[in-house]
Chains A and B, each alone.
Chain A
Amino acid sequence: MDLLEYQGKQLFARHGVPTPEGRVADTVEAAVEAADEIGYPCVIKAQVQIGGRGKAGGIKVAENRQQAEEHANAILGMDIRGPRGEGPFTVHQVWIERASEIDAEYYASIILDRSAKKVLAMLSTTGGMNVEEIAEKDPDALVRRYVEPHEGFGEAQAETLVADAGVEEDARGKTAEMMVKLHQAFNESDATLIEVNPMVVTKDRDVIALDSKVTIDNSALFRHEDLAEMDESFIEDPQERMAKEKGLTYVKLDGDIGILGNGAGLCMSTLDVVAQAGGKPANFLDAGGGSKAEAIVDALEVITSDEKVKAILFNIFGGITRGDEIARGIIEASQRVEIGVPLVVRLDGTNSEEGLGLLADADLPDLHLEKTMLGAAEKVVELARAS
């Protein structure tokens, strides 16, 4: 789960990491009121779970009330795309904070390195937007330090990191302190990423976190009720919202063939094979392991609510999932949901013969049973074209 900037800053504050004073607002009026309270100049920042806000015009400085209103008006409701075309993410909230007087900008992050199986702390005194470029062209300008499993990350490690990164001497103590606190926040909140870009040294030689990017491990949310409550991710797409409510893993794509598979790998492979057969998948839907009939009914409801869908493919190879449960789900769904488009089913694995028997007996209209994954992909593409 990705936190919004202000949520990350709230988390930082709880761990003693200094951040500028600010308020969150979801209307222009509330934003202006917040700006008045904080005083001018202040910064109005779009709250979306993606980078590239500045370039998209989602961060503006307001010198006075009139500008605060103009900027809040422009930013609220704005659609922002990520640097790799992700999104769009619509801005529903802005964060208004006191403008900082900046002397120096750093880049700091703590991340789980899955290859090394260690936590990695990184710090650069040449912060700002192009840190990836810096890392590539001038690797020495970005100092990396692994947190050794038997050693941890305390003052001593942070001080070395800060000195190696070339932090100005009078800011070293506060920078090291912040790195230690960020690492504590990382551990104590089950984060997989904390990035502060920029971390700034102010004219008063204070070190503060001017931005936050925080990702929390979803599997650990059960032990962080406070963070679980922060999940206000606004899902724009109606099918994705419906799937989330039903607890299904669903991603909308732009084609016309609805897809359901069991297991992420097989589901992705099904998308690929359908694309190779000349079709365009409308979605990715992983029914997961051990799906029961009810989940299949839910899944068909989500897939068929997308009006673009012209045909549906179920590709199931059961391990923990039982073919008879899938078949029961399809039969039940046909009674409760208006499917309305051809459904191609390929059922293999655990209890698949029972499942195929049930489907044959039910004799549902426009249901096509296929024996192989490739055959099923070709069939569904042909049916989608014909309709």
Chain B
Amino acid sequence: MSIIVDNDTKLAISGLTGREGTFHGLRNRSYGTDVVAGVTPKKGGQDVEGIPIFDTIKEAVDERGANTSMIFVPARFAAAAMKEAIDAGIETVITITEHIPVHDMLDLYWKARDAGVRLIGPNCPGVLSPGKANVGIIPAQFFEQGSIGVVSKSGTLTYQIGNELKQAGLGNSTIVGIGGDPIVGSDFIDILTLFEDDDETELIVMVGEIGGDAEERAADFIAENVSKPVVAYIAGFTAPPGKQMGHAGAIISGSSGTAEAKKQALEAQGIRVGKSPTETAQLAAETIGAKA
């Protein structure tokens, strides 16, 4: 097993005909992902290196059996493409596009929930299940199949840690970039739940960064609901404090959002937190070694 993307993934890519869309879409296919369609309005009937293009996601679902959608269109059109995917009956929508208005995401979050659709992102690097499927922009050559699940707010930091794990001789069940936007379709808790239920995953690495209180909430959730070992990393100890406008933000979060506060919240629940990406990989290796 693995989570979110695997050998059963049938991918439709909105924005496959764009320059970046083509580059990464073809990389996903050459990795082994079953890319069944591209979607670009008014370009239906064309193809990108043999991948058929449709005008709508609905056609990609009906004619090619697409069950997963990757959104790779410019920010102004991304919310509409996500909505189209939700309405078309896609199971999982993975959005790479950044700068999607947060009010649009708020609407889409509840729309997806009502429809039972899983959203990943936006502004995320995608999801990679090594040896099975890669949906997004994660450079797959740096990861191997294995038993460590990774969930992260940050793209490049995920690659860094994945690569350190590989050097420590450890592979990954799935790597999930959830994105760091204010409203994300799936947060740490959603992905931790999936990893907890995944047979292939033996240990989870959670990579957070300053801002919000998702890490603090995840810490409490892990203590109550996750039986597998979790190792964490938090970036931003040296970052200057963000500017605070007014009081409302401080009132609702109940957390300062600093890296130190997050580290303390995690450690208070017995979760080990690495000082650097390298140390985090070492902690994961130690923990899994001790388990074996």
Q: Beta-carbon contacts of B81-117 to A below 8 Å, as 1s and 0s? A: 0000000000000000011111110110110000000
Tell me, rounded to whole Å, the shortest Cβ–Cβ distance linking B23 to chain A. 9
- Contact among B213, B252, B259, B276 for A273, CB-based, below 8 A: B276
Which residues between 215 and 250 of chain A lie within 8 Å of chain B, taking CB atoms? 215, 217-220, 222-223
Residues of B within 8 A of A135 (CB): 247, 251
- Contact among B101, B214, B278 for A372, CB-based, below 8 A: B278
Tell me, rounded to whole Å, the shortest Cβ–Cβ distance linking B98 to chain A. 8
CB-CB under 8 A for A122 and B157, given A115-B212, A253-B240: no
Stretch at the interface among A67-75, A200-208, A295-303, A317-325: A317-325
**Is the CB of A271 closer than 8 A to any CB of chain B?**
yes
Q: How far is the CA of A262 from the CA of B125 in the complex (A)?
A: 13
Task: List the A residue with the shortest CB-CB distance to B110.
Answer: A149
A50 touching B243 by the CB < 8 A rule? yes
Q: How far is the CA of A197 from the CA of B20 in the complex (A)?
A: 46
Stretch at the interface among A17-25, A187-195, A305-313, A330-338: A187-195
**Is the CB of B138 closer than 8 A to any CB of chain A?**
yes
**Is the CB of A158 closer than 8 A to any CB of chain B?**
no
Central interface residue in B138, B207, B246, B249, by most chain A CB within 10 Å: B246
B101 touching A215 by the CB < 8 A rule? no
**Is the CB of A166 closer than 8 A to any CB of chain B?**
no
Q: How far is the CA of A115 from the CA of B251 in the complex (A)?
A: 13
Tell me, rounded to whole Å, the shortest Cβ–Cβ distance linking A95 to chain B. 17
A117 touching B110 by the CB < 8 A rule? yes
Residues of A within 8 A of B20 (CB): 290, 320
Tell me, rounded to whole Å, the shortest Cβ–Cβ distance linking B289 to chain A. 21
**Is the CB of A260 closer than 8 A to any CB of chain B?**
no
- Contact among A114, A149, A266 for B182, CB-based, below 8 A: A114
Residues of B within 8 A of A264 (CB): 154, 180, 209
Q: Beta-carbon contacts of B20-37 to A below 8 Å, as 1s and 0s? A: 100010000000000000
The size class of the interface chain A forms with chain B is 35 or more
Q: How far is the CA of A110 from the CA of B214 in the complex (A)?
A: 21
Tell me, rounded to whole Å, the shortest Cβ–Cβ distance linking B238 to chain A. 4
Tell me, rounded to whole Å, the shortest Cβ–Cβ distance linking A275 to chain B. 5
Q: How far is the CA of A113 from the CA of B149 in the complex (A)?
A: 28
The count of chain B contact residues (Cβ–Cβ below 8 Å) is: 64
Q: How far is the CA of A320 from the CA of B20 in the complex (A)?
A: 9
Tell me, rounded to whole Å, the shortest Cβ–Cβ distance linking A181 to chain B. 17
CB-CB under 8 A for A131 and B247, given A217-B102, A219-B75, A271-B238: yes
Residues of B within 8 A of A266 (CB): 154, 156-157, 159-160, 235
Tell me, rounded to whole Å, the shortest Cβ–Cβ distance linking A305 to chain B. 20
CB-CB under 8 A for A268 and B244, given A219-B100, A222-B76: no
**Is the CB of B152 closer than 8 A to any CB of chain A?**
yes
Which residues between 212 and 265 of chain B lie within 8 Å of chain A, taking CB atoms? 212-214, 217, 233, 235-241, 243-253, 259
B248 touching A319 by the CB < 8 A rule? no
Residues of A within 8 A of B250 (CB): 132
User: B-side interface residues toward A, CB under 8 Å?
Assistant: 20, 24, 75-76, 98-104, 106-107, 109-110, 125, 137-139, 142, 152-160, 163, 180, 182-183, 207, 209-210, 212-214, 217, 233, 235-241, 243-253, 259, 275-278
Question: Which 4 pairs show the lowest CB-CB distances between chains A and B?
Answer: A265-B154, A263-B156, A265-B157, A220-B101
